[in-house]
Structures are given as C-alpha cells and as structure tokens.
Amino acid sequence: MSRISVHKLKEWKAEGRRFAMLTAYDYPSARLVEQAGVPVILVGDSLGSVVLGYESTVPVTMDDVVYHTRAVARATSRAIIVGDMPFMSYQASPDDAMRNAGRLLQEGGATAVKLEGGTHVVPLVRRMVECGIPVMGHLGLTPQSVNQFGGHRVQGRTPAAAARLINDARALEEAGAFAIVLETIPAPLARMVTERVTVPTIGIGAGPHCDGQVQVFHDLLGIYDDCRPLKHAKRYASLGETIRSAVREYIGEVEEGGFPTAAHSFEMDESTLAELVQAR
C-alpha cells in the first residue's frame, strides 16, 4: 500500500473532509495509530516532554527526532510521516536547515518536515519546497519559543497579533507549505485563518473550525493520568491506570506463585528427564 500524498490533504479540505493527525514516537505506537486509521502521524518534538522526560521541547536534538522518525517510518506504510524540526535545527543558518530537513527524509524516512514560525521562516519554507521537501507550518503557541512567550499563553489575542497570524498563514501558503498547525489561539481566529487559506489548518487548542485536529498520543490515551489534564486535550482512555493495574497484578502473581503456570512453561520428555536424574 502506498503512502498518502501530502497533496491529498488539500483535496480533502476542498471536499470539506476533516482529518485527524496524531503524534507517535516509536514502532508500537505508530503501528497502533496507523492500524486505527490515522492518515497523518507527527513525530513531534513533544517527544522531549512525553517520552524523554524533559520540561520542554527545547533540549530535543536532530539525532533524537531522526531516531524516533525512523522507528515510526518502519512501523507504517500508508500514513504521511511528518518529522518535526527541533529547536536550533533550522534557526542558525539556512544551509544547516536544509541539511537537517534532508536528514529527516533521507535517514528518518519522513514524508515531510514541520517547522515553527511565520514570515521569518518563509524564505526557508520556499527553498525547502523548491528542493522537494514538503513542509508543514506551525503558528500560534509555538512551543520552541515558550521562553520568549513567558509561558504557555494563548496567542493572537490582540488585533495586531491576530492580523499578524493571518498574514503569516497566507505567507506560508504562498511559500508552498502543504498544511499549517494552529496551536492555542482563539477559535474565531482559527476559523478566520481556515477560511483564508486553501491549504488545511490543523488545530490543537484552536477550536472546532480547523480542517484537521492534532493531539499528542500520551494525552489522548491518558498515559499521564496522574497529571492535571490540559485544557486543549481530550482523554479517550486511561491507559496509565490500565498499565499500572496490569503491572501490579503481575507483581502480585510472581510474589504469590500464581505466575508462571504450566501453560507458560516448557516441558521436557520423560525419558530425557529420567536419564538426567540418573546421571546426577
């Protein structure tokens, strides 16, 4: 089965067909996500927080994203795989940015890359697209700038900031981005952006009017169900509790001798056993 083309997403928008994007960071999660029918998998730099235990996405490196993207690519055959460009992989110089984006496709097996920012990344987006690298944009609360924003605050709340965001979206579209993530912005602003560009918008904390939605695997499945839920996330399962309770049951059975039983053990034929006992 061949991979969905990035151009399909624009067709879906034109048809009014909405779609889900979900993050995955390793072979088993990507396999499950694709089996469930998700058409776009993001190997997000959110892996820094949800997989590697960092406080933000800032410490994530190119090697981290390439490594995780490769595992996701191996597990899938149909979904579009978007490799997230981590902090400082595209900000320092355009040549570095091109090489790093190329690594995600060549070494990671990604279909496309995602990078954060508006007008200032437009020349880079144009160059990547011209060189055959599909690019997904990312506007609003761009987590790599969390230190600049002074925390995880809703973006685009003033008329000037909202107008800037609309211009950024148009500029990304014009540069050739095939989709744009809108993160943590007011729903009416997300609707305006969605109506003003022909490429799909993919929201997270941006309300119901985007063409697609994206969620983080661990948030969706309640793996960190001992932490306060995020306003923009919906838990469709409580896997944290499911996993803890399965592991507790295992510990209990090992301690009490309930596991393994004969069903989990390997037998030896009687004559070999008898010979062995005699020889000893």
Positions annotated as catalytic residues are 183
Partners of 140 in the β-ladder: 183
Choose, by CB under 6 A, the member of 19, 22, 44, 203 that binds ligand KIV: 44
Q: How far is the CB of 277 from ligand KIV (least distance, A)?
A: 60
Beta carbon nearer to ligand KIV, 85 or 128: 85
Number of other CB atoms surrounding residue 47 within 10 Å: 27
Build a one-symbol-per-residue string for 176-195: x at contacts with ligand KIV by CB under 6 A, - elsewhere.
-----x-x------------
Question: What is the rounded end-to-end Cα distance, in angstroms, of the chain?
Answer: 58
- Residue 248 DSSP SS3: helix
Q: How far is the CB of 280 from ligand KIV (least distance, A)?
A: 59
Should residue 211 be labelled a site residue for ligand KIV when binding is judged by CB under 6 A? no
Beta carbon nearer to ligand KIV, 162 or 210: 210
Should residue 84 be labelled a site residue for ligand KIV when binding is judged by CB under 6 A? yes
| Whole-angstrom distance, CA of residue 58 vs CA of residue 276 | 61
Should residue 219 be labelled a site residue for ligand KIV when binding is judged by CB under 6 A? no
Number of other CB atoms surrounding residue 124 within 10 Å: 20
- Residue 199 DSSP SS3: coil
Cβ–Cβ < 8 Å for 71, 26:
yes
Query: Residue 92's Cα: distance from chain center in Å?
Result: 24
Of 138, 151, 117, nearest to 180 by C-alpha is 138
Cβ–Cβ < 8 Å for 206, 184:
yes
Q: Which amino acid makes up residue 123?
A: P
Q: How far is the CB of 216 from ligand KIV (least distance, A)?
A: 5
Q: How far is the CB of 109 from ligand KIV (least distance, A)?
A: 18
Of 260, 221, 137, 180, nearest to 13 by C-alpha is 180
Should residue 42 be labelled a site residue for ligand KIV when binding is judged by CB under 6 A? yes
Should residue 122 be labelled a site residue for ligand KIV when binding is judged by CB under 6 A? no
Query: Residue 38's Cα: distance from chain center in Å?
Result: 12
Q: Count Cβ neighbours within 10 Å for each residue of 54-78 and write b for 16 or more, e otherwise.
A: eebbbebebebbbbbbbbbbebbee
Should residue 81 be labelled a site residue for ligand KIV when binding is judged by CB under 6 A? no
Q: How many residues bind ligand KIV (CB under 6 A)?
A: 11
Should residue 165 be labelled a site residue for ligand KIV when binding is judged by CB under 6 A? no
Q: How far is the CB of 143 from ligand KIV (least distance, A)?
A: 7
Pick the stretch among 43-51, 148-156, 168-176, 251-259 that binds ligand KIV (CB under 6 A). Answer: 43-51
Pick the stretch among 42-50, 71-79, 185-193, 248-256 that binds ligand KIV (CB under 6 A). Answer: 42-50
Contact residues toward ligand KIV (CB under 6 A) are 23, 42, 44-46, 84, 181, 183, 204, 214, 216
